[in-house]
Structure 1
Amino acid sequence: MSDQWIEWAKKLQSIAQAGLTFSKDEYDLERYQQLRDLSAEIMSEHTDYPLNKIKDFFANDKGYQTPKLDVRGVVFKEDKILMVKERLDNRWSLPGGFCDIGLSASENIVKEIKEESGFNVNPTKLLALLHMNKHPHPPQPFDYYKIFIQCEITGGKAKSGLETNEVKFFEQNLLPPLSTRRNTQSQINMLFEFLTDRNKPAIFD
């Protein structure tokens, strides 16, 4: 039931933000602001995000609301997958993060992998485009599309970055504790399918 409340809160936030963007009537703007505040309270009640942080998220988001984009790099080496240990939660994820304005998805992942793992890579294949809500991630205030791009190492060496403190390759059956905000066990298993089947088509939901 908590997940349903989160979905309702996201829809309320989307309606409120559209109203704040396009409405010209001062009374309607006040009502849409109240609606956004209410959605933030619901979200805070059903997630581990504090109310003030959620309000900051919502207040800084302008224009018509669309899903945010999170890109993740998939790098295999000797039947193992590259992962980095996140400083925020001391758990492991595929290198990546939010897409930056002005960069393509492939340019973003090259940058993220270099910053978080130390490796230079060349993007080779789009593996998956997934909607976060359809996978067992912890609840979050916003909707995300997750982009998984396979890359091959062209240079560099393993080196942690500002947001990471370890860099390692893992076998599928020996995965470390995962940062489930960023990637899930089922997603990692799905990605290993591309290692065994080179002709597997991209996955989307």
Structure 2
Amino acid sequence: METIWLAQAKRLQALASTGLHFCTDAFERERLEEIAEIAHSMLAQLADVPLERITGLVPDFAKRYSTPMIDVRGAVIEGERILLVRELTDGCWALPGGYADIGLSAAQNIVKEIREEAGLNVTARALYSVTHKAKGLYRPDVRDFYKLYFLCERVDQVAPMAGFETTEVGFFTLNDLPPLSRGRTIESDLEAAFAFHRGETTQTLFD
């Protein structure tokens, strides 16, 4: 879960971005730009990264009303095992998924992501969880995300295969999990998937 200072710096940045998008007064824009600079500096210090890295993470700054990004993740469960992919970026494991692409529904996005990252053809059966990343035990992020988790099923028996953004694919039990990519997936995401799969939970979880 992110600290109060990170949450406030992100909110300050979002307000500056939205304000600059709509603002037409030159003096007010100058004040908003200063607020944006302060917010970016705060985020850079809190994340311990160069300022350029912060501005690079928000390339659409002040170009639209500032809203959370969407991350879709899919759980494919077979027996007592769940599908995970090993991420190329950090070498750790996560539920397959990623940013939602414009032009596709959330369900279409996760079907595409699982095909690209794990080589499997699936159908999205149910939305089992909607999470605000900032409120979970994920690695802190200077961006803001809603995370959508789908329970998916295979539609054929093609063998899993890593894609361009993954290096390995495998099925794991909850008692034998590999190191997780904690900015993407945490244990509670997997536990919630099994609970929904078993019928122990029948309603979509949300915070």
TM norm structure 2: 0.94
Mapped contact 2:71–2:145 kept (Cα < 8 A) = yes
Q: Do structure 1's residue 170 and structure 2's residue 190 form an aligned pair?
A: no
- The farther-off stretch of 134-143 and 79-88 is 134-143
Specify the alignment match of 1:154 in structure 2.
155
Mapped contact 2:75–2:95 kept (Cα < 8 A) = yes
Specify the alignment match of 1:179 in structure 2.
181
* Runs (4+) off by over 4 Å: none
Q: Give me the whole-angstrom Cα distance separating, in 1, the residues matched to 2:78 and 2:166.
A: 20
User: Given the superposition, is the C-alpha separation of residues 175 and 76 from structure 1 closer, same or farther in structure 2, using an over 3 Å criterion?
Assistant: same
Q: Give me the whole-angstrom Cα distance separating, in 1, the residues matched to 2:189 and 2:82.
A: 12
Q: Give me the whole-angstrom Cα distance separating, in 2, the residues matched to 1:127 and 1:13.
A: 31
Specify the alignment match of 1:4 in structure 2.
4
Alignment of 1:21-170 (within 5 A): 21-61=21-61, 62-155=63-156, 156-170=158-172
Secondary structure of 2:121 counterpart: strand
Q: Give me the whole-angstrom Cα distance separating, in 2, the residues matched to 1:27 and 1:129.
A: 40
Secondary structure of 2:5 counterpart: helix
Q: Give me the whole-angstrom Cα distance separating, in 2, the residues matched to 1:117 and 1:173.
A: 22
**Percentage of identical aligned residues:** 39
Q: Deviation of residue 59 (structure 1)?
A: 4.3
Specify the alignment match of 2:205 in structure 1.
203
Secondary structure of 1:119 counterpart: coil
Secondary structure of 1:60 counterpart: coil
Q: Deviation of residue 153 (structure 1)?
A: 0.6
Q: Give me the whole-angstrom Cα distance separating, in 2, the residues matched to 1:48 and 1:190.
A: 32
Q: Deviation of residue 195 (structure 1)?
A: 2.6
Q: Deviation of residue 127 (structure 1)?
A: 0.5
- The farther-off stretch of 171-180 and 134-143 is 134-143
- The farther-off stretch of 27-36 and 55-64 is 55-64
Q: Give me the whole-angstrom Cα distance separating, in 2, the residues matched to 1:26 and 1:190.
A: 50
Mapped contact 1:172–1:192 kept (Cα < 8 A) = no
What does the per-residue CA deviation read over 1:72-91, in whole Å, with 9 as the maximum and x for residues that have no partner?
Answer: 00100122100000010000
Mapped contact 1:80–1:172 kept (Cα < 8 A) = yes
What does the per-residue CA deviation read over 1:21-47, in whole Å, with 9 as the maximum and x for residues that have no partner?
Answer: 111011211221121121111111111
Aligned residues: 204
Secondary structure of 2:102 counterpart: coil
Q: Give me the whole-angstrom Cα distance separating, in 1, the residues matched to 2:201 and 2:130.
A: 17
User: Given the superposition, is the C-alpha separation of residues 185 and 12 from structure 1 closer, same or farther in structure 2, using an over 3 Å criterion?
Assistant: same
Q: Give me the whole-angstrom Cα distance separating, in 1, the residues matched to 2:144 and 2:161.
A: 31
Residue identity matched to 2:177: L
Mapped contact 2:151–2:197 kept (Cα < 8 A) = no
Structure 2 unaligned segments of length 5 or more: list them. Answer: none
Mapped contact 1:67–1:143 kept (Cα < 8 A) = yes
Q: Give me the whole-angstrom Cα distance separating, in 1, the residues matched to 2:91 and 2:58.
A: 27
User: Given the superposition, is the C-alpha separation of residues 59 and 82 from structure 1 closer, same or farther in structure 2, using an over 3 Å criterion?
Assistant: closer
